[in-house]
Amino acid sequence: MTPDVQATPHASLHDAVNLADIEALGRAALDRNALEYYASGANDEHTLRENRAAFTRARLRPRVLVDVSGVDTGTSVLGLPLSSPIGIAPSAFHGLAHPDAERATARAAHARDSVMTLSTFSNTPIETVGADAQGRFWFQLYLLRDRDLSRSILDRAHAAGARALVFTVDAPFLGRREANERHRFALPAHLGAPNVASRDTLAQVETDRGSQLANYFRDLADKTFTWRDLDWLRGQTPLPIILKGILTAEDAVLAAEHGCHVWVSNHGGRQLDTAISSFEALPEIVDAVAGRTEIYLDGGITRGTDVLKAVALGARAVFLGRAALWGLAAGGQTGVERTLELLQDEVRLAMALCGATRVEDLTPALVRL
């Protein structure tokens, strides 16, 4: 490789031309504890890599001689208008990336007419993030063994203006992120999980063996919940419910039968290693749901063509996990905004080069798997 085509580390966000540049900046800003927490997948990280590889393998079938002088990337999710089919996936502990933490992410989602999903395990209370997001947020729930606490979290999310409940169903236990075990990942003492526990509670979790997070979550999470209990959950909130972590047609059908929307995800390769990539799981799920629910997807999105392919195959929108975290680490609110902007620009250009002027023009004929 000649030196002039090698990726050069960029001095500033302003010079970043793509999400890989922002990732390099974000990584450089993090210490080992945070970097390993964000970057890791489970075990050998096959699924982590496969999420990206699946998008690369799929090829586009562009149409030509279409008037593309005006391309509109706009769409909506559950009636909320978005500037493009790109939202932000829930991730815990934004305070590891930037002092403004979830407030920066929420403000960026609002500024870009996007939508942020706030994790149960945020470093910032739901109410504060709700005010910053100004209605552009969904709330992600981990069901806790303490049902009263779960219920009060749900009430708070609704009162704070969340538009939907994203119920994560792929993590009764945390997958084993081995770097976090080896180096005993721990939340720094100045950060807490205020939606769930006081700082004291977290600080009491043992850190002398393995990942503090894994130890903490093992005690907290409800592992008994089944399809039958969904009716209970439905009774606890007036919000639409989205099941996050669906990878099969069978479970997508059950979700639809229970009146839930579907979020196709393998948790960014952090749970069951060698699970199918989310992109490869999408077609059978779209087929099985047959228009009954909205379908979202996350996992490995770094390029406008990734967004295009997922939407063409039936995703209503896609969500950014690590890409948003790299932006946050690289430059707080500005970094997340720049990430969303660069990706939206890539979507617009790719649509034009595919002969598509509206999101509705993106159909399965555009993709050869």
Ligand X SMILES: O=C(O)C(=O)c1ccccc1
Ligand Y SMILES: Cc1cc2nc3c(=O)[nH]c(=O)nc-3n(C[C@H](O)[C@H](O)[C@H](O)COP(=O)(O)O)c2cc1C
244 binds, among ligand Y, ligand X, none (CB under 5 to 8 A by kind): ligand Y
What are the angstrom distances between the C-alpha of 275 and each of 48, 177, 267? 9, 15, 10
**CB nearer to ligand X: pick between 141 and 281:** 141
Question: Which 46-85 positions form the footprint of ligand X (CB under 6 A)?
Answer: none
92 binds ligand X (CB under 6 A): yes
Max distance between CA atoms of the chain, in angstroms, equals 64
In 3D, which of 306, 312, 367, 307 has the Cα closest to residue 55?
A: 306
**CB nearer to ligand Y: pick between 279 and 313:** 279
298 binds ligand Y (CB under 6 A): yes
Task: Give the C-alpha separation, 153 to 159, whole Å.
Answer: 10
Burial 102-115 (b: 16+ CB within 10 A, else e): bbbbbbbbbbbebb
CA 356 to chain centre: 26
Specify the 3-state DSSP secondary structure of 216: helix
Examine the residue annotation and report whether 267 is marked as an active-site residue of this protein: yes
Planar angle of CA 210, 211, 216, nearest 5 degrees: 115
Give min distance, CB of 217 to ligand Y, in A. 10
217 binds ligand X (CB under 6 A): yes
Give the residue nearest to ligand Y (CB): 321
Give min distance, CB of 316 to ligand X, in A. 22
**CB nearer to ligand X: pick between 78 and 171:** 171
Give min distance, CB of 174 to ligand X, in A. 6
Give min distance, CB of 168 to ligand Y, in A. 4
Give min distance, CB of 267 to ligand X, in A. 6
Burial 249-270 (b: 16+ CB within 10 A, else e): bebbbbbbebebbbbbbbbbbb
140 binds ligand Y (CB under 6 A): yes
Task: Count other C-beta atoms under 10 Å from residue 99's C-beta.
Answer: 11
In 3D, which of 325, 270, 341, 307 has the Cα closest to residue 23?
A: 325
Question: Which 81-100 positions form the footprint of ligand Y (CB under 6 A)?
Answer: 89-92
23 binds, among ligand X, ligand Y, none (CB under 5 to 8 A by kind): none
Contacts of 146 (CB under 8 A, 6+ apart): 220
φ/ψ of 179, rounded to 5, equals -65, -35
300 binds ligand Y (CB under 6 A): yes
What are the angstrom distances between the C-alpha of 128 and each of 101, 106, 112? 11, 10, 19
139 binds ligand X (CB under 6 A): no
Give min distance, CB of 191 to ligand X, in A. 12
301 binds ligand Y (CB under 6 A): yes
301 binds, among ligand X, ligand Y, none (CB under 5 to 8 A by kind): ligand Y
Question: Which 234-273 positions form the footprint of ligand X (CB under 6 A)?
Answer: 267, 270
273 binds ligand Y (CB under 6 A): no
User: Which residues of the shown chain bind ligand X in the complex (CB under 6 A)?
Assistant: 92, 121, 171, 174, 213, 217, 267, 270
User: Which residues of the shown chain bind ligand Y in the complex (CB under 6 A)?
Assistant: 37-38, 51, 89-92, 119, 121, 140, 168, 244, 265, 267-268, 270, 298-301, 320-323
Give catalytic residues, as residue numbers: 267
